[in-house]
A = this chain, B = another copy of it.
Amino acid sequence: MKIVETLGERKIIDLILKRLEQMPDTPIPFGDDISAIDLGNGKLAAIKTDMLVDKTDMPPQMSLWQAARKAVVMNISDLAAKGAKPIALLVSLGIPRHFTENDVEEIANGLNSGAREYGAYILGGDTNEASDLVISCAAFGTADRKNLVLRNGCKPGDMVAVTGSFGRTAAGLRILLGHVSCPARLRKRLVDSVLMPKARLHEGLTLATTGAITASIDSSDGLAWSLHELSRASNVGFVIDNLPVAEEAADFAKLYKIGSAELCLYGGEEYELVVTVKPELFESVQKKVPLMRIGQATARSKLVLELRGRRSPIDARGWEHFKTVLQKP
């Protein structure tokens, strides 16, 4: 009998999924970024839950305010990826007994700031005693059914694009976990990318209205993993010929002799959107939302990195609970 530690998050999710009766006629299949319920009149209720646990999601330098804000941003990002507008969040808190009044207030302020930053409100919640700090947010929003962008609509020939560059969080996390020091000029931007993530809400909402986006995912598990998810859901492959390495990540990689592709592809918690776009509409979409083209979808369901004429596979790895450890156990 395997234990959870050796299974990893994806296998656990598979185990659970097999045992759940599927709701008939759901607008979004299980396993996409969010869930949805048809409200009639072309409107959907968009719902999402994502939990932050200090032990695995909170580097030691992250303040409680930042952790609470991040717990909100994680959920907003998933709504953004589907073109759903967040309205309200509920928060279930698990709080260790030794936390102070100040700690609780800092958490409340962080939750409020995260929600307001994206035009939403914290509407209710629940508090509990727990050994870890647990911040479980449930986000509620609405979407127009006709604008909904799933993971499964990509066709061979579509362009692959991202809303921003990658690699800062992977570098920032190495700094925060004390693996490397870093010159101050780089340090702040890399570390901030981990402590103060941003959800691409405006971009997601705008992209959804263009009719040009065939598939979309938020990149919280890393760029490589997100591409694999799109590949699996849409039954396509990708050739990535333009790695969207962030400038600071490239500098960091040079400094510490780490591959910049590693930082760019296999990080996580980066919250950019990874989308596929009808090629004939790419230019018109670009005028509304700046996108970086990184490659193209192919009929052969393989993920290939093609740089300077050299082809290499893109592995299906990224951030995974039970496998990735942030703090000492």
Contact = CB atoms under 8 A, between A and B. Distances in A.
Interface size class of A (residues with CB under 8 A): 35 or more
Given A100-B3, A102-B1, A112-B20, A92 B127 contact: no
Given A21-B116, A53-B128, A4 B134 contact: no
Which residue of A23, A37, A92, A98 has the most chain B CB atoms within 10 A of its CB atom? A92
Interface string A1-33: 111110101001101111111110010001000
Contacts of A90: 35, 47-49, 138
Chain A binding surface, main DSSP class: mixed
Interface string A104-127: 110111011000100001111111
Which residue of A88, A125, A322 has the most chain B CB atoms within 10 A of its CB atom? A125
A119 to B, nearest CB: 11
Contact of A134 (B23, B45, B97, B136): B136
Interface of A: 1-5, 7, 9, 12-13, 15-23, 26, 30, 34-35, 37, 39, 43, 45, 47-51, 53, 55-57, 87-88, 90-105, 107-109, 111-112, 116, 121-132, 134, 136, 138, 140, 321-322
